Structure 1
C-alpha cells in the first residue's frame, strides 16, 4: 500500500474508533487477546508464506485475470471490514446497504438500464451468473438455455446445477453464432459473452438481438470480464456494435473484482425488469424487521454478503467515474493499447506469431520457429516455465483444438488433437509502458 493510502486508512480507522467508543467504554474479552510475541511470530511466518505468490501487482505478471485492487479501494474495504457489516438485511449494515444500492444504480445507468432495474452485488461472477440463469429458468421453466462454445464453463455447469438443458451454439469463423443450428422454439434464454475469458472475444450481440426478439428469446449478457470496456464504446479502440446494445438485454453480469479495481469477491447481477423480483419472494422469522425498504436478502440467492465489498466499490466509483475520458476510461484505454502494442511487436517478430488480433486486452500468441502443433505446444510450455523459473515474466497457457487452429494458421502440420499457445492478459495500465520490456524478455526465452 502506498503512503497516501496508509495515511488515509489510519485517519479513517481513528475516526471509526472514536465512533465505536461513543457508545460507552468497553474492553476486549481476555479470551480474544493473543500475546504480542506470538502475534509477531505468526505474522512473520505469514509474510514469508505470502511471498510464495506470483507477483500479481507487477507488470511482469501478464498471466491470468488477476488484477490488484486499487490501494484506496483496499483502504475503504479495510475501513468497512473493521465494522464487518452484512448486506443481507438492512439491520446488518444500513450504511453499506445504501452504498450498495447507489453503486448498483451507477452500474445499471452505465449499462443503459437507468432507474428501472433490479440488481445487487454477489460474491463472484459464478454466483451472479447462477442467479441470472436461475431467473432464466423461472421465466421459461420448460425451455433450454443456449450459450456459445466459447462461453465460460460456468454456464454449462450452472445449467446442470439448475437441472436445465443447456445448448452449445457453434461459432463460425466470422465470429457469428450459427443460429440455424438451434431451434428457437426450444430456447428460453441465450447467453452472449462480451469478453470471453479465453481470448477476450466480444460475441455478436448485434447479430443475436434481432433473432432473439423475433422468437421471443430472452438475452443474458455475461460481461463478467469485459463489462467495464463499455466505457470505450464510442472510442476508436473497440468495435462498439455490441457494447452500444447492452441495454436491450434482459440481464447482465459484471465482475468489479476484475476490471473494477476491487478485491475478491465482488460480482454483480442486474435485471432490466424489476418484476423478476417475484421469483426471489420469501420470508424470514428473524430478519427484515428494521425497515419497510427492500432488503438485499429479499432479492438475492445469497444470504450473508460482505458489506465491505459494497463500501469499497462505492468509494471507487466516487474516485473513478464510469466515463470514457475520466476514471475508468483512461485506465481501460491503456490496457487496450498495451494489448495492441504487444500484438504489433509479436507480428513483427521472427520468433513469435499472434493467434489472432485481440478484441480487448487479452492476446494469444505462440513460438513460430517450428513446423507442427505438437512442437508449438512443447515450445509454449517451455517458454511459460522458463519465465516463472527465472522470475522474468509470468504468462498463462491456452489450449485450442488443432482443427480450429488450422483454420487461422494452415501452414503448420497438425499432429496433435489440441495445440497449446501462450496467453497474456494486460489488465494493468502499467502494462502499457512495460510491454516493450516484456516482449523482449519473452522473445529471448524462445
Structure 2
C-alpha cells in the first residue's frame, strides 16, 4: 500500500499542498486499506498465539524499543504499522489466552472492538454538546441505564477513565457535601475529615484522600472478618469514636468486589450505619459491577441502591476495551460540585438559559474525553444485557469449580471464599516449612511469568504470600485452569528439588 505521504494534493493555487496524512475524504480509501492491514495482522495473531506472552525479556524489549529511530524520516503507513505489529503485538500480553489468569484484565467482545475503531476515527470529544451532539445523549442514556440497574430512581453520572478516577470524584463530591453541610471554611474542615474503609479497599481510596488535601492519616481502616468483608460492628464503633473526638466521617467506602479476594462488603448494614451517622456512602463496584447484569447473582449487590455514589468499571466485567468506567450518583444535584464554567467552553450565562446545552464537562473532572460509551452501547445492542450477565456468571461459576478442585489438593491450599471470580491459593505440600513456602510463592510466579506459558498473580494477605487466579474469560475451562495449576505444582516441586533448571524445564 502506498503511503499517504506519497499522495500530495494540489493546493488552491495549483502548487503542491503540505502533506499531513490526516484522515479526510481524500484519504478515505487509504484509511480503509490501512485498517484492513491492521485487522488482518491482529486476526493472524489471535489465530496463532500459543501462550499469554513471549516472556518478558526486558533487556531484549528495551533494545528493540531503543533501536527504533523516532527522529528519522517517515517510513510510510504500511511499514510503520508492520513495525508496530512486530514490536507491540508480537510482544504483548494476550488477555484472551486461557492461561492468562493474573489481573483484572478481561478479553473483549467483538462489537466493542469495532466501535473502538469507529470512535477513534471520528474522534468525538464528549465534553461539550457542540463537539459531540448525539454522543452526549447516548452517554447520558447509558448512565441513566446503569443508574436504573443500581436502583437509583433519578441517578446521574459520567463516564470516566477508570475506577481510580471514579473513586477520586466520588470522594471529591463527599468532601463538597461536608463543606455544604457544616458551612465551615475548607482550611478548618479538612483536617477533621476522615474516610472509613477496610484494608482490602483499592489503593485509589488512600491516593484520592491525599489528592484532596486530607491528612495523611485521614483514611481509617475498619477491621474485617475472616473473609475480608467489613465488620459492621467495628464500623459503628469507629463512627461513634469520630463523633466523640469532634471529627467527621466524610465518607464510608464499601467495596463490592475486593481486588484480592473478590468479596463484597455487607452493603445493607453499611448503608444503615451511613444513614444513622449522616455519612456519604460510596460503593466501589469496579470489579463487582458486572453483577448488575447477572440473572443469578444480582442479589449480592442488594443495598447498593442506598449508596450516594457507585463506581462501575465496564472494562473489567462487561468485557469492554480499556477505558470504560463510570461514576454514578443517586442525586444529580451532588454533581454540581464538579461544575466549573469557562467562557470559551461552557459559559455560565448559557448554562442558566432554559434551553441550555447538555455539556458533560459540567459533571466531569476531565475536559477532553473520549466517547467510550459507544463501546458499551454497541455491546448492549449486539448481545443484550442478559448475555453479558451470563458471561459474568460463567467466570464466577468457574471460580467455584476451581476452588472445589483445590479443596483436597495435597500441594495447593486454597484460601477462604469469594463472591466473584478470584481464587487465592499457595503451593504448600505437607510437611513443608511455612517460611520456605512463603519464599516459594513469588519465585513460582516469576518463573511462570518469564516462561510466558502461563500468568498468575501474587499478593500478600495478613503477612502471608499467596498466588492468585483472576478468572475473567468466560471461554476458559476447568481443564485450562487445571493445566496452569499443574505448571504451578511442577514449578514448585522443581524449586524444592533445588535446581532452577528443573523448575524451568517443568514449564516447557
Q: TM-score, normalised by structure 1?
A: 0.83
Q: Is 1:68 matched up with 2:107?
A: yes
CA contact (8 A) 2:239 2:277 kept: no
Aligned partner of residue 122 in structure 2, secondary structure: coil
Separation in 1, partners of 2:165, 2:171: 10
Match in the other structure for 2:399: 339
Instruction: Give the deviation of 1:28 after TM superposition.
Output: 8.8
Moved more, 93-102 or 39-48: 39-48
Counting matched residue pairs gives 395
CA contact (8 A) 2:99 2:481 kept: no
Aligned partner of residue 422 in structure 1, secondary structure: strand
Instruction: Give the deviation of 1:278 after TM superposition.
Output: 2.6
CA offsets 1:271-306 (integer angstroms, 9 cap, x no match): 101111331233221224697232100111211100
Of residues 276, 286, 292, the one that matches 2:334 is: 276
Of residues 353, 363, 371, the one that matches 1:299 is: 363
Of residues 308, 313, 316, the one that matches 2:379 is: 316
Separation in 2, partners of 1:134, 1:340: 37
Rate the CA distance shift 1:239–1:117 in 2: closer, same or farther, 3 A: closer
Instruction: Give the deviation of 1:341 after TM superposition.
Output: 1.1
Q: Is 1:420 matched up with 2:465?
A: yes
Separation in 2, partners of 1:29, 1:321: 47
Instruction: Give the deviation of 1:321 after TM superposition.
Output: 3.2
Match in the other structure for 2:173: 135
Match in the other structure for 1:6: none
Moved more, 432-441 or 352-361: 432-441
1:187-202 alignment, distance < 5 Å: 187-202=249-264
1:125-204 alignment, distance < 5 Å: 125-141=163-179, 142=189, 143-164=193-214, 165-173=218-226, 175-177=229-231, 178-184=234-240, 185=243, 186-204=248-266
Instruction: Give the deviation of 1:432 after TM superposition.
Output: 3.3
Aligned partner of residue 59 in structure 1, secondary structure: coil
Rate the CA distance shift 1:430–1:443 in 2: closer, same or farther, 3 A: farther
Match in the other structure for 1:16: none
CA contact (8 A) 1:383 1:445 kept: yes
CA contact (8 A) 2:285 2:311 kept: yes
Match in the other structure for 1:385: 446
Of residues 421, 432, 440, the one that matches 2:486 is: 440
Aligned partner of residue 101 in structure 2, secondary structure: coil
Separation in 1, partners of 2:111, 2:237: 49
Query: Which runs of 5 or more structure 1 residues have no equivalent in the other structure?
Result: 1-26, 402-417
Q: TM-score, normalised by structure 2?
A: 0.73
Rate the CA distance shift 1:38–1:239 in 2: closer, same or farther, 3 A: closer
Separation in 2, partners of 1:28, 1:381: 58
Which of the pair has more CA radius of gyration? 2
Rate the CA distance shift 1:425–1:86 in 2: closer, same or farther, 3 A: same
Separation in 2, partners of 1:243, 1:158: 24
Instruction: Give the deviation of 1:314 after TM superposition.
Output: 1.2
Rate the CA distance shift 1:32–1:176 in 2: closer, same or farther, 3 A: closer
CA contact (8 A) 2:255 2:285 kept: yes
Separation in 2, partners of 1:356, 1:172: 11
Rate the CA distance shift 1:149–1:28 in 2: closer, same or farther, 3 A: farther
Instruction: Give the deviation of 1:444 after TM superposition.
Output: 3.2
Match in the other structure for 2:161: 123
Instruction: Give the deviation of 1:121 after TM superposition.
Output: 0.2
Aligned partner of residue 423 in structure 1, secondary structure: strand
Separation in 2, partners of 1:62, 1:253: 24
Q: Is 1:39 matched up with 2:67?
A: no
CA contact (8 A) 2:392 2:474 kept: yes
Aligned partner of residue 31 in structure 1, secondary structure: coil
CA contact (8 A) 1:342 1:439 kept: no
Separation in 2, partners of 1:336, 1:172: 22
CA offsets 1:212-264 (integer angstroms, 9 cap, x no match): 222222211000111112333x62xx583x51211111110111111122111
Q: Is 1:111 matched up with 2:174?
A: no
Match in the other structure for 1:55: 94
Q: Is 1:228 matched up with 2:290?
A: yes
Match in the other structure for 1:431: 476
CA contact (8 A) 2:222 2:230 kept: no
Aligned partner of residue 314 in structure 2, secondary structure: coil
Aligned partner of residue 304 in structure 1, secondary structure: coil
Separation in 1, partners of 2:213, 2:163: 20
CA contact (8 A) 2:268 2:302 kept: no
Instruction: Give the deviation of 1:68 after TM superposition.
Output: 2.5
CA contact (8 A) 1:102 1:314 kept: no
Of residues 49, 57, 82, the one that matches 2:121 is: 82
Separation in 1, partners of 2:302, 2:382: 25
Match in the other structure for 1:260: 318
Match in the other structure for 1:244: 302
